[in-house]
Amino acid sequence: MQILRYATRYILNNHLSRSSTRALSTIKPDDTKPPFLMVASIGNPEPDYSGSRHSVGHWVLEQLVQNHWKNFSRFQKHRNISRGPYSVSQDSVSSNVLLFKSNETYMNLQGEPIHANWSEVRRIQSRQFSPALVVVHDEISLPLGKIQIRKQGSSPRGHNGLRSIDKIMGQNYTKIAVGVGKPPNKYVADFVLAKFKRPEVEVLEYDVMPQIVQVLEQMTKGEHIFEVSKAPEKRQRQPRPRQNTKKDSISEVVESAASTASS
């Protein structure tokens, strides 16, 4: 039944009309200002899909707050943050980070909630920070236990959540891909919607989370988040020899973290 619901929403998403104008997902970094991170996880609605491979991003942020960044508040709702809970630091040490779980929307509809919240965060925080968006997502092309930092401008690799974001915002955001392994057969939907087994959870806890913490701490200092992927150069076609002598023609939130924490 869950798979049927998911497939139905996928079909509906492909028929949604989108504006032809994409909003920029980031602004040019200002070297005179410290970075501000909005770290957003994408997945399917919780609690229905909690613990599933496709929602590993939500699991990562929850573990981050519970077991690693203990100075952060529990995830909670706020009137200025739509379609998901947030968490911020309760002291000034990490006041330049907002964690957001987009867990009220299906994966292939993630573009709208991510864009809405990121636009507000960027608008407010750009006054004193250089904002950057980081999206945490599952990746079947990576083995379980591995993560990968993917620069701004990198492709979605067929990931429906990233494609939804790209359609609305463009590709100017950084990704943290969390490996969940390849499906054992052709039934990809069954695989990503299934829950992790206990041995897999242990790999996430002991292998993945230390990597996540290290990378995010680097990002809070401005590393990785403003790097742009160099698009592969297009191959030039060689002109075919012509039989005539005619010439060819030539023909783009919340208030500050402190005030949000106290709201």
Mean pLDDT of 37-48: 98
Mean pLDDT of 67-71: 96
Q: Are 178 and 43 in contact (CB under 8 A)?
A: no
- Least Cα distance to 163 among 108, 82, 234, 236 occurs for 108
Least confident of 26-30, 52-56, 191-195, 198-202: 26-30
Mean pLDDT of 170-199: 97
Domain 2-13+30-230, second-level architecture: 3-Layer(aba) Sandwich (3.40)
**Which amino acid is present at 217?**
E
Q: Annotated catalytic sites, by residue? A: 54
* Mean pLDDT for the chain overall: 83
Backbone angles phi, psi at 116, to 5 degrees: -60, -45
Confidence of residue 253 (pLDDT cuts 50, 70, 90): very low
The number of beta carbons lying within 10 Å of the beta carbon of residue 119 is: 15
- H/E stretch holding 148 reads strand 147-150
Q: What is the DSSP letter of 38?
A: E
Q: Looking up tokens 């783009």, which residue turns up?
A: 252
Look at residue 86 and give its three-state secondary structure: strand
Tens-digit pLDDT profile for residues 82-108: 889 999 999 887 899 999 999 999 999
- Cβ burial of 88 (10 Å; 0-12, 13-18, 19+) is buried
The number of beta carbons lying within 10 Å of the beta carbon of residue 187 is: 12
Tens-digit pLDDT profile for residues 10-39: 444 444 334 433 444 444 667 789 999 999
- Cα radius of gyration (the chain): 20
**Residue of higher predicted confidence among 215 and 250:** 215
pTM of the predicted structure, to 2 decimals: 0.79
Q: Looking up tokens 């191959």, which residue turns up?
A: 235
Mean pLDDT of 115-132: 95
Tens-digit pLDDT profile for residues 228-247: 987 654 444 444 544 544 43
In the chain, domain spans? 2-13+30-230
Mean pLDDT of 65-78: 96
Predicted local confidence at residue 73, as pLDDT: 96
Predicted local confidence at residue 2, as pLDDT: 53
Predicted local confidence at residue 246, as pLDDT: 40
